[in-house]
Amino acid sequence: MRITFLRPNIGRLASGPYIDEGRMEPLTLGVLAAYTPPDVECVLYDDRMENIPFDEPTDLAAITVEIYNARRAYEIAAEYRRRGVPVVMGGFQPTLVPDECLQHADAIVTGDAETIWPEVVSDVRNAALKRRYDGQTDYPQPHAVMPRRDLYRGKGYLPVSLVQFGRGCRFACEFCAISTFFKRTQCVRPIRDVVEEIEKQDRRLIFFVDDNLVSDHARAKELLRALVPLKIRWVSQGSIDMTDDPELMDLIEASGCQGFVVGFESVQQAGVRAMRKACNLSKKTAGWDCYARQVEILRKHHLQTWAAFTLGHDTDTPESILDTLRFAEEHKFCFAAFNILMPYPSTPLYKRLAAEGRLLWGGKWWLHPEYRFNYAAFVPQNMTPEELTDVVFECRRRWNSMGSIFTRVWDFQTHLNSIYRLGTFLVYNRLYASETMTKHGMFFGKNAHSDLLQRGSS
Ligand code: B12
Ligand code: SF4
């Protein structure tokens, strides 16, 4: 028996195909392959940079689907199903929008799949595949199973190993798909499993793909203490309330952290309150200092912060969005993501905007043939959708200019603290700047004329 694991690309540029130059190893598929019975042959194709050999014989196409690659995933599924190969989909889209995915797949798996995946494979073997499987695990990668990293070889991924400590987050930000998917909880692996996995790595640079590594400070500290002797460098995602805990910050630095993706989201206190981002409203700061105290603590620990913003909240105006750019430049962050606020299905934000009649693109922007990456997908309160798209693009354009990169590098606490950090700043700023500008306005899917929206909404 053979299973073909697939990671779909997002889409295509107006001028031709899009190849993701900053692609990372698809940990999801390496984990699934590891839970596949050993007598099954596993092959992996990554649509982000290689052609999928649809005619190669296989017994099952297993596709990981998130909202941005859903359109392309459905095209890939159609190719396999036309050839009589059953298709199973799993990931965020099948979990949060199951009915839509069921129209394009023979079966879906919702939630975490490690425990249920062997049953799916067995059902395929016995030609008894069910339509829906609801997965659940107490924690990621149970029984210390290690991802099949051999499947990544020769595919040109960035030289960083993806590892997970946990999944989920305890906060409840209005717009967040994580909070909806994991129901405001975080589950973590036994620390000895994480340490063992890192020790088996050739690489010393680790990306913990956790949604919020510091969701639970006490658990995070246990992990960090175990990381100190490993002498690795690592990056992850984390909420800014980490800066309220000096012991945690010391351990973060001592264990080799290079920086976090931090969701600042907005520079307006009213906006942060309205989106219910509790972790950004520090009780230790008297009044609103616009993260000044927290950023200083991150800098003191030499962290190269990737600041993430969601722009277009009801409190935002074009001017307040440009203030976000000024804030990011003033603090000389290493990287920044100026994201338009996106209504992800099943989130409280999506439901509210739908109830207020403010969703664009028929409410299914991810399927619309004319929707383009980084365009507004709802009617903002204080500007037109076009103005929102334009002002966010303006932030990206200015942030990624050579002038901005040159100005931001001058921070001896962070980017100029070591040759390694300077290298990170220069190499990845160039890469991300080029990727960000290339991807802007790309179309979803590969085929301009497929009628997925009609089918998706029927
Ligand atoms: C790491 C990561 C990235 C990395 C890329 C990783 C890579 N290999 O290329 C980076 C930082 C580059 C990135 C980029 C983006 N990401 Co991202 N990313 C993640 C993150 C944090 C972890 C993914 C991961 O590896 N998890 C570990 C694996 C083991 O878990 P898993 O993927 O959930 O898979 C399990 C189950 O879901 C299920 N499953 C998943 N697929 C399948 C398939 C089958 C067949 C089966 C049976 C089961 C199954 O089984 C697995 C084991 O239990 C997720 C959040 C998350 N918790 O998953 C967001 C997430 C997937 N990303 C998201 C987004 C929006 C993006 C971007 C679009 C951001 C942007 N605006 O540019 C981009 C572009 C993504 C793209 N399509 O190319 C969203 C998607 C939202 C949604 N509703 O779908 C998520 C959920 C984060 C969020 N805050 O909402 N991302
Ligand atoms: S802190 Fe981050 S991961 Fe947690 S709910 Fe808010 S946006 Fe989502």
Measured from the Cβ of residue 276, the count of other Cβ atoms closer than 10 Å reads 16
**Which atom of ligand 2 is the closest one to the Cα of 172?**
5
Report whether 98 contacts 108 (CB < 8 A): yes
Task: For residue 434, give both structure tokens.
Answer: 């080029």
Tens-binned pLDDT, residue by residue, of the chain (458 aa):
999 999 999 999 988 889 998 899 999 999 999 999 999 999 999 999 999 999 999 999 999 999 999 999 999 999 999 999 999 999 999 999 999 999 999 999 999 999 999 999 999 999 999 999 999 999 999 999 999 999 999 999 999 999 999 999 999 999 999 999 999 999 999 999 999 999 998 899 999 999 999 999 999 999 999 999 999 999 999 999 999 999 999 999 999 999 999 999 999 999 999 999 999 998 888 889 999 999 999 999 999 999 999 999 999 999 999 999 999 999 999 999 999 999 999 999 999 999 999 999 999 999 999 999 999 999 999 999 999 999 999 999 999 999 999 999 999 999 999 999 999 999 999 999 999 999 999 999 998 766 665 544 33
Nearest CA to ligand 1 atom 44: 90
pLDDT for position 31:
98
The letter for the amino acid at 70 is A
Q: Is 411 touching ligand 1 by the criterion CB < 6 Å?
A: no
Determine phi and psi for 147, rounding to 5 degrees: -60, 150
Look at the domain 143-439 and name its fold. Answer: pyruvate-formate lyase- activating enzyme (3.80.30)
pLDDT at 21: 87
Of 180, 212, 264, which is best to mutate to test ligand 2, by the most ligand atoms within 8 angstroms of its C-beta?
212
To which residue do tokens 């365009």 refer? 375
| Ligand 2 neighbourhood includes 178 CB (under 6 angstroms) | yes
For the chain, the structural domain boundaries read: 2-140, 143-439
pLDDT at 451: 62
What single string gives the DSSP state of each residue in 20-82? -TT----HHHHHHHHTS-TTSEEEEEETTTS---TTS--SEEEEE--GGGHHHHHHHHHHHHH
Contacts of 104 by beta carbon, 8 Å cutoff, 6+ apart:
73, 74, 77, 78, 87, 89, 452, 455
Q: What percent of the chain is helix, strand and coil (3-state, nearest 5)?
A: 40, 15, 45
DSSP letters of 126-169? TT---SEEE---SSSSGGGPPP-GGGGTTS---S-EEE-SEEE-
Can you give the pTM of this predicted structure? Answer: 0.97
Contacts of 84 (CB under 8 A, 6+ apart): none
> What is the C-alpha radius of gyration for the chain, rounded to an integer number of angstroms?
22
* CATH number of the domain located at residue range(s) 2-140 in this protein: 3.40.50.280
Cβ–ligand 2 contact at 177 (below 6 Å):
no
**DSSP state letter for 359:** B
With the most atoms of ligand 1 within 8 angstroms of its CB, the residue from 19, 20, 28 to mutate is 28
> Tens digit of pLDDT for each residue in 46-61?
999 999 999 999 999 9
Q: Check residue 450 and give its pLDDT.
A: 65
Site to probe by mutation for ligand 1, drawn from 66, 346, 350, 364 as the one with most ligand atoms within 8 Å of Cβ, is: 66
Q: Which two tokens stand for residue 92?
A: 């965020």
Question: CA-CA distance, 432 to 22, in Å (whole number)?
Answer: 8
How far does residue 178's CA lie from ligand 1's centre (Å)? Answer: 10
Whole-angstrom distance, CA of residue 437 vs CA of residue 8: 21
CA 43 – CA 27 distance, rounded (Å): 14
Ligand 1: centre distance to CA 108 (Å): 16
- Closest C-alpha among 340, 347, 275 to residue 96: 347
Buried b (16+ CB within 10 A) or exposed e, 266-275: bbbeebbeeb
